[in-house]
Amino acid sequence: MTDVQNVADFVNTNGYISGLSVLNEEETLELRKNFNDFEKNIGKENAQYNLHNVHVEHPWVLKVATKPSVLKPLKEILGPNLILLDSRFICKYPNEEVPQSDGSEAFVAWHQDVRYWGVEGDVISVWLAVDDADEENGCMIVIPATHKSGILQHDQSDAKGNLLTSNQEIPPHLYDETKAVPCPLKAGQMSLHHGHIVHGSRPNRSNRRRCGFVIRYIATTAYPIVDEARPRKFATTVLLSGTDEHKNFEDHAPAWFDWRE
């Protein structure tokens, strides 16, 4: 999809875009080395989902999230005034490396990101591949254009192995899985998806790790809302570029963040 002429139009129509090359070989190797150091320090089980909002602790993480090549398509969609809302490294390991306690296969149920965010306004998530991600090792899968359906019902899941901490899923009658499209990525590539799009991922049935850096961006016009069904605290938001005339989110930029655009 790298030949798409207008990223914003494609995302507005389909709710996602995949295969955007944003890191060169050297940058990709550096990203993987830095993540491998995290993994070594905290262990694979913790590295699956626990590296949350470390962009305010480690300059190399924030530098990845602010690379001009990463921000360019986001500015096309959201405009020049960007806030980093949240970030997380997500790893899916082969079952033999990190077995689930209940013997199941790890997967991510069909869901919408915004179901878990008390935000009014467009949220665009980046999935930046630390490793190659493909169907064999459980790349992200989306159902195009479902971002136009609003926030759908999410129920508790009976399936074992769901990596969503809420263990929720969208009931099957609310989406058409036959329209699902995989989003394979080479390491150093990224996909973008709208916060309302229905997406998930299947188990990693390869002998390879599938690691990605997920970064969520909003325009400064977005604002937090009080919703008991979507409680959220925003203690690590960072103004990345432009100006913020609205002040809906506090700027938690670290003192060392001195390369803001």
Q: Is 192 contained in some domain?
A: yes
Q: Which of 77-81, 112-116, 228-232, 256-260 has the lowest mean pLDDT?
A: 228-232
DSSP-derived pairing of the beta strands 16-21 and 168-169: unpaired
Q: What is the pLDDT of residue 158?
A: 83
Cα distance between residue 144 and residue 142, in whole Å: 6
Rounded-to-integer distance, Cα 209 and Cα 173, Å? 32
Considering Cα of 48, then 210, then 44, then 34, what sign does the dihedral take?
negative
Is 60 exceeded by the pLDDT of residue 2?
Answer: no
Tell me the pLDDT of the chain averaged across its residues.
Answer: 93
Q: Does position 54 have pLDDT exceeding 70, yes or no? A: yes
Domain count, the chain: 1
Residue 1 pLDDT > 60 = no
Q: Is there a domain that residue 218 lies in? A: yes
Cα(125)–Cα(216) distance, rounded to whole angstroms?
4
Domain membership of residue 28 (yes or no) is yes
- At residue 121, the pLDDT reads 93
- Residue 16's pLDDT is what? 98
Query: Which 3-state string (H, E, C) describes 10-72?
Result: HHHHHCEEEEEECCCHHHHHHHHHHHHHHHHHHCHHHHCCCEECHHHCCHHHHHHHCCHHHHH
pLDDT beyond 70 at 125 = yes
Beta bridge partners of residue 133, listed in sequence order: 185
- Residue 49 in any domain: the answer is yes
Specify the CATH number for the domain of residue 103: 2.60.120.620
List the beta strands (DSSP E) in the chain.
Answer: 16-21, 51-52, 82-92, 108-111, 119-120, 123-129, 140-143, 155-156, 168-169, 181-182, 189-194, 198-201, 210-219, 223-224, 238-241
Distance CA(9)–CA(12), nearest Å, equals 5
Confidence band (pLDDT; 50, 70, 90) for 4? low
Amino acid 104: pLDDT = 86
Domain of residue 193, residue span: 7-241
The model carries a pTM of 0.94
In a domain, 255, yes or no: no
Report pLDDT for 229.
67
